[in-house]
Amino acid sequence: MNLENANQAELQVWEEKLAAKYAEYKEAGLKLDLTRGKPGTAQLDLADAMEDLPKSKMILENGTDLRNYGGLDGIPAARKLGAEMLGLPESEVISGDHSSLTLMYLYLLHAFYHGSQGPETAWAKESEVKFLAIVPGYDRHFSICEELGIRMINVDMLADGPDMDAVEDLLRNDAEIKGMWCVPKYSNPTGCVYAEEVVERIAALGKIAGPNFRVMWDDAYCVHDLLENPRQLANVMDYCRKYGTEDNLILTASTSKITVAGGGISFLGASLKNLENFRKRLSVMSIGPNKLNQQRHVLFLKNIEGVRSHMRKHAEILRPKFEMVQKHLENGLAGKGMGNWGKPEGGYFVSFDSIPGLAKEIIRLAGEAGVKLTPAGATFPYGKDPKDSNIRLAPTFPSVEDLDQAMQIFVTCVQLASVRQRM
Ligand SMILES: Cc1ncc(COP(=O)(O)O)c(C=O)c1O
């Protein structure tokens, strides 16, 4: 039955049935967690073979002893791997320690306080600094801005990427907007892959934005395909070269969800001019990254083909989990007018939009029945979802069996909250 067509008597019966089912779930005292997008243990196990690094591989042919200090940019082979992942020449990529988020944070600190092209370009010199936040989006991007006092302006994510008419309009009229967060492939949380036209328009933004504008191109899911023959993301730096906006782009990626989330390697890609300036910060904070770990990664993954073949093993583990989520959403909610959801072809999340005003209530109901969900509002700046509607489901960590149970409960909570709102 569609919620829209149900009369009050039907809603009453429906609510009683759902409330009884919900009470049973509550009684069962389950403890299930669909909050953070962590790799599952079986995915981490896939990289176990990487851990042993023979002593013979710790000294490179050119004599570099990886055990010692130095090599601020990371080892050449790791930079090459990152360059293949990001679609850049090796000279435009540096490889760091385990977290790309750390590099993003550091880049923003650098641009804010020190200036991406020297002290005169520091954002801190502006009366106010603003960023475009594509929503729903990644909470940790928003936390970085919040911490720096950068005011975020929401722009909607559409089916093929950010609402570019809105983005261009805002930038044309406000030179205080200094940047924009993008997760261009399998966006967190909607799973969107930016269309080529959107990529080109983003690459051209440097021409209409105020000075020192940076697109933060977080390609965290660049190789995280669930399907064979995945959609290809257009090369944003190639388009930037076409428009002469290479300095407006900062790209990042990591192996966190390729090898091991707590011990991978990260990459930052940028124009030579941007890298030259950013190195000044790196050289103050470190004498160099963990080169042994970079070598381990390179020996294990080898090149982009090696990465893709490894990611096919991840996809085999993850596909049944994503299918389980879709099965419950379709069986329990399709055609009922109780919300919409995405069907991502990769990445780590499924984004669900409830009827406006219900996300908090659904999350509360699910929590009390033992299913922990990401807090309502987490996918929006300042934790405020203006429609109180978006819920991020993270199916990678739980087992398929746990997901089966968790999704039954989730669907019941969506139904219950939706029916009650209508009564
Ligand atoms: C969009 C996005 N960027 C970055 C990260 C974290 O990356 P890293 O582990 O390299 O710091 C995540 C993790 O969930 C993510 O979803």
Site to substitute for ligand 1 among 86, 256, 374, most atoms within 8 A of C-beta: 256
Ligand 1 centroid – CA 261 distance (Å): 9
Sign of CA dihedral 238, 242, 244, 245: negative
CATH class of 62-302: alpha beta
Residue 259 CA to ligand 1 centre (angstroms):
13
- The residue whose CB lies within 8 Å of the most ligand 1 atoms, and thus the one to mutate among 218, 221, 379, is 218
Q: What is the dihedral of CA 12, 16, 22, 26, to 10 degrees?
A: 130
Which of 86, 140, 194, 216 should be mutated for ligand 1, with most atoms under 8 A from CB?
Answer: 140
SS3 sequence of the chain: CCHHHCCHHHHHHHHHHHHHHHHHHHHCCCCEEECCCCCCHHHHHCCHHHCCCCHHHCECCCCCECCCCCCCCCCHHHHHHHHHHHCCCHHHEEEECCCHHHHHHHHHHHHHHHCECEHHHCHHHCCCCEEEEEECCCHHHHHHHHHHCCEEEEEEEECCEECHHHHHHHHHHCCCEEEEEECCCCCCCCCCCCCHHHHHHHHHHHHCCCCCCEEEEECCCCCCECCCCCCCCCCHHHHHHHHCCHHHEEEEEECCCCCCCCCCCEEEEECHHHHHHHHHHHHHHCCCCCHHHHHHHHHHHCCHHHHHHHHHHHHHHHHHHHHHHHHHHHHHHCCCCCEEECCCCECCCEEEEECCCCHHHHHHHHHHCCEEECCCCCCCHHHCCCCCCEEEECCCCCCHHHHHHHHHHHHHHHHHHHHHHHC
Which pLDDT tens digit goes with each residue over 158-174? 999 999 999 999 999 99
CA–CA dist 194, 65 (Å, integer):
41
Q: Does 101 contact ligand 1 (Cβ within 6 A)? A: yes
Distance, CA 337 to ligand 1 centroid (Å)? 33
Q: Does 99 contact ligand 1 (Cβ within 6 A)?
A: yes
pLDDT digits (tens, 9 = 90+) for 27-76: 998 899 999 899 999 999 999 999 888 888 899 989 999 999 999 999 99
Q: Where are the domains of the chain?
A: 3-43+309-422, 62-302
**Ligand 1 contacts CB of residue 187 (under 6 A):** no
The span from the CA of 221 to the CA of 185, in Å, is 6
Q: Using a 6 Å cutoff on CB, does residue 277 contact ligand 1?
A: no
pLDDT beneath 70, residues of the chain? none
Atom in ligand 1 nearest the alpha carbon of residue 101? 11
State the pLDDT at residue 293: 97
Q: Using CA atoms, how far apart are residues 191 and 237, in angstroms rounded to an integer? A: 22
Instruction: State which ligand 1 atom lies nearest to the alpha carbon of 266.
Output: 10
CATH tag, 3-43+309-422 = 3.90.1150.10
CB contact at 8 A, 171 and 177: yes
Beta bridge pairs of residue 391:
352
Gap between the Cα atoms of 135 and 126, Å rounded: 25
Neighbours of 168 (CB within 10 A): 16
Asked if residue 415 has its Cβ within 6 Å of ligand 1, the reply is no
Are the beta carbons of 113 and 163 closer than 8 angstroms? no
pLDDT of residue 332: 97
**Phi then psi dihedrals of residue 65, to 5 deg:** -90, 110
- What pLDDT is attached to residue 343? 97
Q: Is the peptide bond before 136 cis (omega within 30 degrees of 0)?
A: yes
Does 183 contact ligand 1 (Cβ within 6 A)? yes
Whether ligand 1 lies within 6 angstroms of the CB of 361 is answered as no
What pLDDT was estimated at residue 56? 87
User: Which residue has its alpha carbon closest to ligand 1 atom 13?
Assistant: 37
379 lines ligand 1 (CB under 6 A): no
pLDDT for position 55: 84
Would you say the CB of residue 347 lies under 6 angstroms from ligand 1? no
Tell me how far apart the alpha carbons of residues 221 and 209 are, in angstroms, rounded to a whole number.
27
101 Cα to the center of ligand 1, angstroms = 6
